[in-house]
Chains A and B, each alone.
Chain A
Amino acid sequence: MSHPTPSLSHFKRSDYQHIYEPAEDTFLFLDALEKEQGFLTDLNPTVCLEIGSGSGCVSTFLATLIGGSGTLFLTTDINPRANAATLSTAHHNHIPLDALRCDLLPSLRHTIDILLFNPPYVVTPSSEVGTHSIVASWAGGIDGREVIDRVLPLVDGALSKRSVFYMVVVNENRPEEIAERMRMCGFGMEVVLGRRAGNEGLKILKFARQA
């Protein structure tokens, strides 16, 4: 892919002990957004929100991809170091962006035009879910779905009329079951990209309101 990845040269190796270091899942997400560039530009989004922004790599990339001056970029993370890291990455790449420390997303009624989430999707014991540390980057609990399943019911209320939601999953998360849940809330699902990375079968899912 051709669009440049945001510069992350402001981070030190040791920063990645506390925030999620962009990895195969992150890069597949960037590739998927680049593939969707035409669609996303046509959407002419006003508000974009990323849940769990970590290093800030994904939102910063999207801002450089579709232009940073016509869209409000909001990010959340439960890990305070991720909020700070996201702001520094945006700043370092000359992108205006806001960061909010909260659980999942704030209550914005039908406001978000693009919603992004690379969730903690790894299957782990439930007891590992719910921390505010680096563990929150991957710990997904049963089927890796415990955090994902709290987001799904919020999507309909948060998204605007003309909007889209992208999410990273692995096969263990049972994407067909996620599709079924979202269909019940009036959303269609499509797989934008898939890739095998080590033992992870990664997919980028795209959800949009059904006509």
Chain B
Amino acid sequence: MQQLHIEANQLTKRYGSFTAVDGIDFEIAPGESFGFLGPNGAGKSTTMRMIAATSLRSSGSLDVLGLDANDNGPAIRAQLGIVPQADNLDEELRVWDNLFVYGRYFGLPRKVVRQRADALLDFAQLQQKRQARVDALSGGMKRRLTIARALMNEPKIMLLDEPTTGLDPQARHVLWDRLFRLKDSGTTLVLTTHYMDEAEQLCDRLVVVDEGKIVAEGSPKELIRTYSTREVLEVRFGTAKNEEAAGRLAGIGDRIEVLPDRLLVYDDNGEQALTAVGERGLHPVTSLVRRASLEDVFLRLTGRSLIE
């Protein structure tokens, strides 16, 4: 069997008396695309930093590419592409120079760096901005540049901490496409995201983390099957009335979730549930039947909506 790319056992990170990551286990195989999902403060970025060996774990074990992360930071990072949650580009340099200096940090010869910088500007659709100073780029362009920069060393593993936050829908789809291609070429992808569609699209397997613990694990499909009904009925009664209506709907579907702006009724047959609502004499302002998604899994597991 091929060696695992990342292997964590009882991985724990404490800041003082606060435990940010609380004994999590996961394994990521070469070429796999693995996601961390969780609400704000769940410990996703902390875990990513531990994998990047820029944060030292407090206990447990963590091997990246067969090396202990606490002892082999630079050697591990030589093989990683790191996209941190907050961009850290050199704002004083031009776009192309950012790629150039970064590539040099991996010991690449100037000629190779030049070639890759050009190829990656295409990749990030920033050719026209190659001579622009970074502080003159839009937020989404900076994000794309950060991602392009992380690819300079042709990493074995890409760590993407909320890669598409701040990107417009078109840029997001382009980026997904690029990430697919990377995946096809055998690069291992590890990502965190708050976008369920992104997780469903990109992740072979994902874990839902909450308060530093893994609360569920599986492929997007498996998770939806395990934690949700096949369909969901969304009904709105108006902000003030949702709570009250929920009481009167009890018994319809498997489960009812009350959100500030709407009610979610979980039932394998959404239309049937809607009929049942009408039979109880309730008339929602709007109603919608849809297939269950990871969003529902997330809601069920963490009691929170994803985008807060």
Q: Do A and B come from one complex?
A: no
